[in-house]
Structure 1
Amino acid sequence: MLLNDIINRIHPIPGPAVEKLLDIAEVVSFPKYHLLFRADKIDHNLYFIKKGIVRAFTEKEDTSITFFFGMEGDPVLSMKSYVSREKSYEDIELLEDSEFYQFDGAALEALYNQDLYIANWGRKLAEIELAKTEERLIARQFRTAAERYSDLMQDMPELLRRVSLGHIASYLGITQVSLSRIRTKQ
């Protein structure tokens, strides 16, 4: 996915503002299983997935709990680290060999302070991510696992062929056996 398309999908901005963002973006690549972010570390960078898929997870007792999947075009960041410059609580792992558009947090912050269009673009990005987080939280509290699975397959249908069922079950908050039952019924 092209960075211009990602930028304008978030919030259309004038060409000169897009060029400023493109000037500070760097394409980086990492192998499958690489940890892009680590819990208890501060990383102020913002990434957009050019190619690949990631999951955000946290460790609890002897298991990892997945709470986010990102695919091409999606932003990847630790909001706590990015906004507050505090240690993050999640690990973000690559589930495929992946390429990203990387933005240095300090360079992006400088653009927010210099360009109102870019500042509004950043605000819109934060609003979109907040709304997605709220949707996931509400779904986890008020929708059945079968409904959450159906929503996930509607929103990200290729997830089944690219991600292990164990990660999908973890994301849904159920066991793999329960996920198999749900899949059989649908």
Structure 2
Amino acid sequence: MEIDKILDTIYLLPENSKKNIEKYITEISYPKNFCLMQAHKIIPHIYFVKKGIVRAYASTDDKDITFWFGKEGEPVVSMRSYVENKPGYESIELLEDCDFYKLETANLKKLFNEDIHIANWGRKFAERELVKTEELIISRQFKTALERYKDLMRDKPDLLKRVQLGHIASYLGITQVSLSRIRAEMK
């Protein structure tokens, strides 16, 4: 997905403002299984997925818990690093070879002070990330694993073909055996 389209899905910018942001964006690629972000570290940039899929997870003593997937067109950001310049909670692993657009947070914040349109883009970006987090929390608290699986099938059906079932099960908060049962029941 091209960066123009990605920026516009967040907030429609005038061409001049979009060009100002794009001056600070670089393209970068990493292989499958690469750790793009590590928990407990400050991440001084935002990525946008040009091609590929990533997962966000938190580690416990005995396992990793997947809580988010990002694919083409989506931002990959540690919001704690972005907002507070503090170490993030999550790690980000590449599930495929990936191409990204990379934007240094410091450059973006500089642009916020120079261009009201870019500042509004940043506000919309943060609002969208907040809503996604809120939806995730509500889904985990009030929906069954079956309902969450149906939501995943409806909203991101391609993930079911591109992501290992173990990661899907972790995302749903169930074992892989339970996921197999749900999938069998739905056939």
- Place the TM-score, normalised by the shorter chain, in its bin: over 0.9
Match of 1:159 in 2: 159
Alignment match, 1:130 = 130
Partner of 2:29: 29
Question: Structure 2: how far apart are the matches of 1:35 and 1:103?
Answer: 17
User: How many residues align structurally?
Assistant: 186
Q: TM-score, normalised by structure 2?
A: 0.98
Three-state SS of the structure 2 residue aligned to 1:88 is coil
Counterpart code for 1:116: I
SS of alignment partner, residue 39 of structure 1: coil
Instruction: Report percent identity of matched pairs.
Output: 55
Query: Any stretches of 5+ residues in structure 1 without a counterpart?
Result: none
TM score, norm. by length of structure 1: 0.99
Q: Distance in 2 between matches of 1:156 and 1:93?
A: 18
Give the root-mean-square deviation of aligned CA atoms: 0.6
Which deviations, in whole Å up to 9, do the C-alpha atoms of 1:132-174 show, x marking residues without a partner?
1100100100011000000011111011111000000000000
1:32-68 CA-partner distances (Å, limit 9, x unpaired): 1111100111112001000000000011121000000
- Residue in structure 2 matched with residue 147 of structure 1 by the alignment: 147
Query: Could you tell me how far apart the structure 1 residues matched to 2:178 and 2:148 are?
Result: 13
> Aligned equivalents of 2:115 and 2:98: distance in 1?
30
- Once the 2 structures are TM-superposed, how far is the Cα of residue 88 of structure 1 from its aligned partner? 1.1
In the TM superposition, residue 125 of structure 1 has moved relative to its aligned partner by 0.7
- Off by >3 Å, runs of 4+ in structure 1: none
Matches of 1:32 and 1:56, distance apart in 2 = 14
CA deviation after TM superposition for structure 1 residue 93, in Å: 0.5
Give the 5 Å matches for 1:166-177: 166-177=166-177
- Residue 77 of structure 2 corresponds to 77
Which residue pairs with 1:99 in the alignment? 99
